[in-house]
Structure 1
Amino acid sequence: MSVVHRLGDGLVNFYLVDTGEGLVLVDAGLPGHWTGFLADLDRLGIAPSDITDVLVTHGHPDHIGLAERLRTEAGARVHVHRAEAALVAAPLRPAADARPEKSIAGYALRRPSGLRTPLHLLRLGALRTRPVVEPVLFADGRLDDVPGRPLAVHTPGHTHGSTVFVFAEQAFTGDALVTRDEMVGHVGPTLLCRAFTNDGRAALESLRALESHDVATVHPGHGDPWTDGLPSAVRAAVAAGVR
């Protein structure tokens, strides 16, 4: 079974996966994570150039912050769903149809402490996020040329090309399914609120595509791992709905 190292800072997660065949990074944090990322790799006895592939669940700045740097400085291939190509090419200038459904303002009025997350992203350089140049584009299905041969499951809704990566016994859900949404104060499997989601109805429907993948552990983009299986996480998230 793959060995997973959770990286990031508690609010934003990304993951180093030792598949036994090679090292894969799932998502790539924010630009401000670089120093801590190097320290984590050093602690593990790993060089950046040992990471051959970066799998991007979606193109928001807190998921691609180090991707282009790893591509240009360490030679990693950066894999992106073809429906996400436009967003990773211009993460700070999303097209009108790629923007969130609702404004943050309404959520902040109801729960001002929820602003902790967007402010945290700004502090860690979200506005300095570099576009991904020359990504490796994929569609749904098995990624045979990536160590561990993960299954890419397209889960549109959070973004057009949102993707969940399923390895043996491990699922990396990005923001298609999280276990903490600071904006609304929810802890447990859920969708991110509409202030960060492009199409809540589609995101909810996409969860059903995951329920048939009976893997033990869910590694989300935000929140702690869920160890009661992906199907139970999906059921809990569907029950929570989208806010």
Structure 2
Amino acid sequence: MDVVHRLGDGLVNFYLVDTGEGVVLVDSGLPGHWRGLLADLDRLGFAPTDVTDVLVTHAHPDHIGLAERLRVEAGARIHLHEREAGLAAAPLRPAADSRPEKSVLGYALRRPSGLRTPVHLLRLGGLRTKPVADPVVFTDGLLADVPGRPLAVHTPGHTHGSTVFVFQDHAFTGDALVTSDPMVGSVGPSLLCRAFTNDGRAALESLRALEAHDVPHVHPGHGDQWHEGLPAAVRAAVAAGVR
């Protein structure tokens, strides 16, 4: 049985999955999470070199911040969707068609406290995020050579190559489905607002591809974990719509 440990901090989540066959990270936080990751690994009885694979839900800086360092220093393989390769190669210089639908400014004017999140990302080194070199790219389907044999489900919308990883009892949704969006003050299953999403309509449609995967535990990139099943989380997020 896979054992999941939530890492990161109160605003940014990434996860260690102890599959019994090997240790996998889903996403890798920000550059400033390095010391915390080392402490967490030590507390759990692992070394950085025990992490054989990093699964990238998408290539925003708060999800790939430690990926290249783990590849170079620990020998981890970095897996990402083929449509995410361009963003992973230049996470601080996204192509025009990879930028968010709306400006943060409009949301900040309505809810200034929402700026806490982007400020937090900057404080933890978001602008120091290194490109990912030599990733292992996939499309959809079973990642048979990764411990735990997760299923990669392409969920375009938040980014072009956004992917949800489904293990036996766990779904790691990245930012395709979150349970907190401080920019708009939402709590509960939802999409991230358009200030951080490339295509809100596509993101909403992609959620429907997840409803068929009836796993009990949902682990989002932002917000608390959800233990009432992925289908229920999808229905709640669809009902909330795109803000």
Match of 1:134 in 2: 134
Match of 1:99 in 2: 99
Match of 1:143 in 2: 143
- State the Cα distance separating 1:45 from its structure 2 match: 1.2
The one-letter code matched in structure 2 to 1:116 is: R
Question: 1:21 is paired with a residue of what secondary structure?
Answer: coil
Question: Counterparts of 1:157-196 in structure 2 under 5 Å?
Answer: 157-196=157-196
Question: 1:226 is paired with a residue of what secondary structure?
Answer: coil
Return the TM-score normalized by structure 2: 1.00
Match of 1:54 in 2: 54
Match of 1:230 in 2: 230
- State the Cα distance separating 1:43 from its structure 2 match: 0.7
The one-letter code matched in structure 2 to 1:197 is: T
1:68-91 deviations in Å (ceiling 9; x for gaps): 000000000000100000000000
Structure 2 CA distance for aligned equivalents of residues 15 and 71 of structure 1: 17
1:17-60 deviations in Å (ceiling 9; x for gaps): 00111100000000000011101111111000000000000000
> What stretches of structure 1 move > 6 A for 4+ residues in a row?
none
The one-letter code matched in structure 2 to 1:156 is: P
Question: 1:109 is paired with a residue of what secondary structure?
Answer: helix
Structure 2 CA distance for aligned equivalents of residues 25 and 193 of structure 1: 26
Question: 1:36 is paired with a residue of what secondary structure?
Answer: helix
Structure 2 CA distance for aligned equivalents of residues 144 and 168 of structure 1: 13
Tell me if 1:206 matches 2:206. yes
Structure 1 CA distance for aligned equivalents of residues 12 and 70 of structure 2: 18
Return the TM-score normalized by structure 1: 1.00
- State the Cα distance separating 1:119 from its structure 2 match: 0.2
Structure 2 CA distance for aligned equivalents of residues 231 and 80 of structure 1: 24
The one-letter code matched in structure 1 to 2:235 is: R
Determine what percentage of the aligned residue pairs are the same residue: 83
Gaps of 5+ in 2: none
The one-letter code matched in structure 2 to 1:58 is: H
Match of 1:3 in 2: 3
Structure 1 CA distance for aligned equivalents of residues 147 and 181 of structure 2: 31
Instruction: Tell me the number of residue pairs that the alignment of Structure 1 and Structure 2 aligns.
Output: 243
Structure 2 CA distance for aligned equivalents of residues 25 and 165 of structure 1: 11
- State the Cα distance separating 1:10 from its structure 2 match: 1.2
Match of 2:26 in 1: 26
Structure 1 CA distance for aligned equivalents of residues 177 and 212 of structure 2: 15
Structure 1 CA distance for aligned equivalents of residues 164 and 121 of structure 2: 22
Gaps of 5+ in 1: none
Tell me if 1:123 matches 2:117. no
